[in-house]
Structures are given as C-alpha cells and as structure tokens.
Structure 1
Amino acid sequence: MISSEHTGWFKSSYSGGSQAECLEVAPGPTTVPVRDSKTTDGPALLFSAGGWTAFLTAVKEGRIKG
C-alpha cells in the first residue's frame, strides 16, 4: 500500500485541528502522494510533480474551490 511506503507525511499549515477536510502530503522521488488525514492507513492518490504544481496553482487562482 502506498501510504506505508512513504514517510514524512505532513498537513498544510492551513489545516485546523477541528476541520474534517484535511489532506496529508508526503515527499516522493517522482510522485507526490496525497491521502486523507483521517485514514492514514488507507490509499493515497499519486500526482506527478507537474500535476501537483498545476493543481496547487489552480486552487490558489480560485479555479478550483472546495
């Protein structure tokens, strides 16, 4: 399972203690794994480095809203 293969998972500094919508991200050599912080032993999505950067840019620019 991908989540057990990566170490160094972290949450965004924007994540609050009471928010239920937290994601964790881990550094990867060629991919950026992302998982639900409430299910740390569950599956992770894998983004290419370019895909993750494009996603973050779209969020910051308001093209993707939660």
Structure 2
Amino acid sequence: MTTESPLWFTSSHSENGGACVEVAANLAGSLGVVPVRDSKHPQGPALVLPAASFASFVTGLRAGGV
C-alpha cells in the first residue's frame, strides 16, 4: 500500500478562465492511475483513469482529435 498523495496541476495551456481540469500524473508510475478533477471544485470527486487510457487520450488530443 502507498501513502503517496496526488500532486495536482493544471496545464500551462489553460487560459485561466476557470473552466480547467487538474490532473495528478504523479500516481501513474506507482499506482497506474491518473486522477482528473474540476479545478473549480478541488474538494469534489475525481475521475480516476487507468494511466494507459489517459495517455491514449492525450495522444489523441495532440494528434488533433476532439
């Protein structure tokens, strides 16, 4: 069991308009997951994605997918 805490960050590409998501990529290596949450509600729930699925999502975004 790990006691590692998520280290949340918002993309540097966010325009600071309040409609951002935060991710905690530091858990990908140790737990194999990437939590995602709404930056406006940091105490709210987080969607926890398998690291491979999140990586595929990001790859698709970079390739111009919507």
Same fold (TM over 0.5): yes
Segments of structure 2 that go 5 or more residues without pairing to the other structure are none
Kindly report which structure 2 residues correspond to 1:1-66, keeping only aligned pairs within 5 A, or say none: 6-17=5-16, 19-26=17-24, 27-28=26-27, 29-64=31-66
Shift of 1:16: 2.1
Q: What is the distance in 2 between the residues matched to 1:38 and 1:55? A: 22
Q: What is the distance in 2 between the residues matched to 1:52 and 1:22? A: 16
Shift of 1:45: 0.8
Extract structure 1 runs of 4+ deviating beyond 3 A. Answer: none
In the comparison of the two structures, how many residue pairs are matched?
Answer: 59
Q: Percent identity?
A: 42
Give the superposed CA RMSD.
Answer: 1.5
The alignment's TM-score, normalised by the length of structure 1, stands at: 0.78
